[in-house]
Amino acid sequence: KYGPDGVAHARVQFAEGATVVGRVLGLGYGEEDEASPRHGVVVGGVGQGATIDEFGRFRVEKLPPGRTRLRLLGDGLPATTRYVDLEPGETAELVFDFRKEALATVKGVIRRQGKPFEDGTVVLRTGAQFDSETYSLCHGDPSEDRALPPGHFEFERVPPGMVRLGVGTSSGLEQLRGELPPFTVGPGETREITWDLDAFAEDTRVRLAITGGQRRLMYGLSDLTQWIIVFEGSGPAPPPDEAAAEAILTGDALLLTHGRVFRLHPGDYTVWIALSDEPGHSAAETLAEGELVTKQFTVPDDEDELELEIDVSDAVSLLR
């Protein structure tokens, strides 16, 4: 549009920002306005965040309308993700409830050849899209001055909802030995699991060799978010949106990992490598909004190890 001075003027309209107000309960934040020495923040995006005060209260402003991810980070606070659907100008409420009666406990023992498996690390994934990770050593965490019996693991303060468990060696989860199907825990529930790794003993060790362009990518794809999802058989059709991706991950996915080495029974499989140029994207977000590379392969019953090479250069070029 041209003004009286003959100069073009542009009018840019921005959607009215939304606000989330809330509180953190438990973990030292009192229900009766007891002050806590903990320090934490609630982050909604670049330049969008708020400090949690000593009573657990926070207020995050100027959030974009639509589905917004909010992350809780801080000293002694479990990294936790919540999703809120916001309308322009709306003020929504959000509570991170870590009181004991509101959370679950997942614990158990891992055995191999009839003995406790001590050289292990267990990863627990929670959140609507399994994007919050917590780790437990099978012999306790020395940094927390908490020793567990050999082969045991324990997760406290687990948010109610869907949970996935994976186990690898203490040297790194890329040496993934197994993953349990997703299960659900409720408020105040204690779920005990006995996990026998002998079921994986005869499996073939599958090693992914991911290549991109002229460079062999073994340990990461630079600044890209990446997820490796494995399905039995031909696998489902690529999801058209985030909701469909979430349904797949909570149902059909056999394996969900960032690692490069895992074990599979003989049979036919499909692997998806999902890539996104948005740092920190969840698995469902990456599947729905990123680039997807798929490959079908067969695990024979007479090989101890299988190397699977996948070229992701075309997908990477579309993101950059």
C-alpha triplet 273, 124, 59: angle, nearest 5°? 95
Per-residue pLDDT 10s for the chain (320 aa) are 444 555 444 444 445 789 999 998 887 776 554 556 667 888 876 668 888 888 888 999 988 888 788 888 877 677 777 878 889 999 999 988 888 788 899 999 888 888 888 777 888 887 655 656 677 766 555 445 557 888 888 888 888 888 888 887 655 544 556 677 778 898 889 999 988 887 776 788 888 888 874 343 444 455 577 888 899 999 899 888 888 888 888 778 888 877 777 888 889 999 999 988 776 677 888 888 888 999 999 999 888 889 999 988 888 888 76
pLDDT number for residue 220 = 47
Q: Using alpha carbons, list the distances in angstroms from residue 189 to 7, 100, 104, 132.
A: 67, 10, 5, 19
Rounded CA-CA distance 118/141 in Å is 12
Tell how far CA 110 is from the center of its chain: 22
pLDDT number for residue 218 = 40
DSSP 8-state assignment for residue 118 = -
Rounded CA-CA distance 281/287 in Å is 9
DSSP codes of every residue in 258-311: S-SEEEE-SEEEEEEEEEESSTT--HHHHHHHSEEEEEEEEE-TT-SEEEEEEE
pLDDT number for residue 90 = 92
Rounded CA-CA distance 176/169 in Å is 7
Smallest CA-to-CA distance from 292 within 223, 233, 237, 234 is with 237
Rounded CA-CA distance 290/83 in Å is 19
Write the pLDDT tens digit of every residue in 153-176: 888 888 888 888 888 765 554 455
pLDDT number for residue 215 = 41
What does the buried/exposed string (b/e) look like for 46-58 if buried means 16 or more CB atoms within 10 Å of the residue's CB? Answer: eebbbebeebbeb
pLDDT number for residue 191 = 93
